[in-house]
Structure 1
Amino acid sequence: MSTTTMEPQGPRPSRITPARIGVYAFLVVSAAFFLLPLYVMVITSIKPMAEIRLGNLFSFPLAPTIEPWIKAWTYACTGVNCEGIKVGFLNSFRILVPSVIVSIALGATIGYALSFWRPKGANFLFAVLLLGAFIPYQVFLYPLVRMLSTVGLYNSLPGIVVVHTIFGLPLMTLLFRNFYAGIPIDLFKAARVDGGGFWAIFFRLMLPLSTPIIIVAVILQVTGIWNDFLFGLIFAGRENFPMTVELNNVVNTTTGEREYNVNMAATILTALVPLVVYFVSGRWFVRGIAAGAVKG
């Protein structure tokens, strides 16, 4: 009686093909394209000005210092005020939180209504919202200035929150409407049979199912509102300038020597919130997209 021995099979050796080489080359070049400017910003922000004057852009600092970061945050000058960009950081949060909450709440409610209740003129309303998303913002600036001035909201915190809510509403409505369109209509009909009304079905059924798309909406709104410069400059008012406007003032203040290390540190500080949001919620963003954020 003969026996056959089976040798354990290990992983197959990977073959190097031209296609694989091309893919890796593309990934390396793409990574370098995004990481090289970040590297220059970081090392410049921790260099003293004496080393920056030497012109060695890519060299690592010989005497690293965090003084530029401290100055950028606490006492960098924006015109005649030398309070750093911490004031803009606080203002950005005061603008960001209500703008994100209100725009997402309205977008979810309207998207839910357009998907399941379909009031009279729903398609026309949705078309108008989509049209508003594709018209350049500059077209609306002067009319909005006039309207907000008339109602006393121009150059105020509520005014800039209203502006961000208005311009975020089309995208939020589109996201939630397409997401709810993927939910089986039988769930809605069953809730209606059980006596559920508009708000009961929304809060007890739809919102618990909406976690993935809410994460997507939060990431999009946080990034867009935090990085906004134009609306903050025009509508917020000098006392409520967001961080992006304060950064512009720091960089363009030309009294004395231009401090590139302070400018780089201020730029990185301004970009930290969107970066943290992406790193913390990146997998939720992908999950939300896969769950139907761009369907329809």
Structure 2
Amino acid sequence: MKHSAERIGIYAFLFSAALFFLLPLYVMLVTSVKSMDEIRAGGIFALPLAPTFEPWRLAWSEVCTGAACEGVRAGFWNSVAITVPSTLLPIALGAVNGYALSFWKPRGGAVLFAVLLAGAFIPVQVMLYPMVRMMATLGVFGSMPAIVLVHTIFGMPLMTLLFRNYYAGVPRELFQAARIDGGSFWRIFLQVMLPMSAPIIVVAAIMQVTGVWNDYILGLVFAGRDNLPMTVQLNNVINTTTGTRLYNVNMAATVLTALLPLAVYFLSGRWFVRGIAAGAVKG
């Protein structure tokens, strides 16, 4: 009886948590396929009587995101162009840093790791002005290289921490055997360590992709007018003060913006859990 009560409590908690997070998504989805007349009639939780995907078409290709009325399509491709290098570069640098700090123990490595770790907890807002000045000095402020460089800098501390903890659990005898066989720094990394790193690479990729894609403030400040990510364009759509507020189009644009993080979560959620578990056991 005791176990039955515990099981009921667990399922009740899980159901409540799922409802808390899924209810807003349900409201966005059903609102995005309703006509404005149906929305004005009330019934926010009611299913659409005559579903239409016209709001989705308008959100993708025609809604005004500022001076241009080309939908959030341009923002989507801008976000893709920002996310891909801003994911690959921090993971590559974090993997090398974590490998060096775990096995080669460079002089001052502990201090460097402490600095990187501290950088992971510094609020982004504190660093905005120094980063703006630095990008302006380099002559890349308001460009694609600027926003990629900023995401790389802010992502590297966490990536280094993930890989360092993962490699700390790898048997040191494996590294020593590779050294005895004449393996160099890069050969051991590329041929021994990197093939073993698939679980933590998946975790790092999921965290970096979702973090970069959902970013708003860095994209607004550093990307420039021609490279604004989808989140910035969504804000322009939602907060427009001209014309009639089209709630169905707004909801469709919101779902489109959240589509990639949702897809990443549903398609690779189990790999994320496995990678975290592997890192926890090994690190």
Q: TM-score range by the shorter chain?
A: over 0.9
Q: Helix, strand or coil for the counterpart of 1:17?
A: helix
Write the letter of the residue equivalent to 1:186.
E
1:213 to 200, 204, 209: 200
Structure 1 residue runs of 5 or longer lacking an equivalent are 1-13
Q: How far apart are 1:237 and its partner, in Å?
A: 0.3
Distance in 1 (CA, whole Å) between partners of 2:3 and 2:266 is 32
Say if 1:111 and 1:177, in contact at 8 Å, map to a contact too.
Answer: yes
- Whether contact under 8 Å (1:116, 1:188) holds in the other structure is yes
Query: Does 2:69 align with 1:69?
Result: no
Q: Percent identity?
A: 67
TM-score w.r.t. structure 1 length? 0.93
Asked if the contact 1:76–1:84 (Cα under 8 Å) also holds between the matched residues in 2, the reply is: yes
Matching residue's letter, 1:21:
I
Alignment correspondent of 1:243: 230
- Inter-partner Cα distance in structure 2 for 1:117 and 1:202: 11
The residue that corresponds to 1:108 in the other structure is: 95
Once superposed, what is the RMSD of the aligned Cα atoms? 1.3
Deviations, residues 184-206 of structure 1 (Å, cap 9, x unaligned) = 00000000000000000000000
Find out whether 1:274 has 2:261 as its counterpart. yes
SS in 1 for 2:178: helix
Contact 1:104–1:217 (Cα < 8 Å) also in 2:
yes
Is it true that 1:153 corresponds to 2:140 in the alignment?
Answer: yes
Which residues of structure 2 form unaligned runs of 5+? none
Kept after mapping to 1: 8 A contact 2:170/2:282: no
Q: What are the residue-to-residue correspondences of 1:188-207 with 2, within 5 Å?
A: 188-207=175-194
AA of the residue aligned to 1:209 = M
Aligned length: 283
Stretch of structure 1 that moved more, 22-31 or 168-177: 22-31
Q: Distance in 2 between matches of 1:109 and 1:177?
A: 9
Residue 37 (structure 2) aligns with: 50
CA contact (8 A) 1:175 1:294 kept: no
CA distance in 2, matches of 1:30, 1:175: 28
Indicate the residue corresponding to 2:275 in structure 1. Answer: 288
| Higher radius of gyration, 1 or 2 | 1
Distance 1:36 1:277 in 2: 20
Q: Secondary structure at the match of 1:69?
A: helix
- Note the C-alpha offset of 1:110: 0.4
Give the aligned partner of residue 7 of structure 1: none
Match runs of 1:95-174 below 5 Å: 95-174=82-161
1:78 aligned to which of 65, 69, 74: 65
Alpha-carbon deviation of 1:126? 0.2
Q: Aligned pair 1:224/2:211, yes or no?
A: yes
Q: Secondary structure at the residue paired with 1:134? A: coil
User: What is the CA–CA distance in structure 1 between the aligned matches of 2:162 and 2:269, rounded to whole Å?
Assistant: 17
Separation of aligned partners in 2, 1:256 and 1:47: 19
Is the counterpart of residue 187 in structure 1 residue 174 in structure 2?
A: yes
* SS in structure 1 of the partner of residue 152 of structure 2: helix
> Residue 153 of structure 2 aligns to which amino acid in structure 1?
I
CA distance in 1, matches of 2:133, 2:141: 8
Q: 2:59 & 2:280 partners in 1: Cα distance?
A: 38
Indicate the SS of the match to 2:148: helix
Higher helix proportion (structure 1 or 2): 2
Structure 2 length-normalised TM: 0.97
- Whether contact under 8 Å (2:132, 2:141) holds in the other structure is yes
Name 1:260's counterpart in structure 2. 247
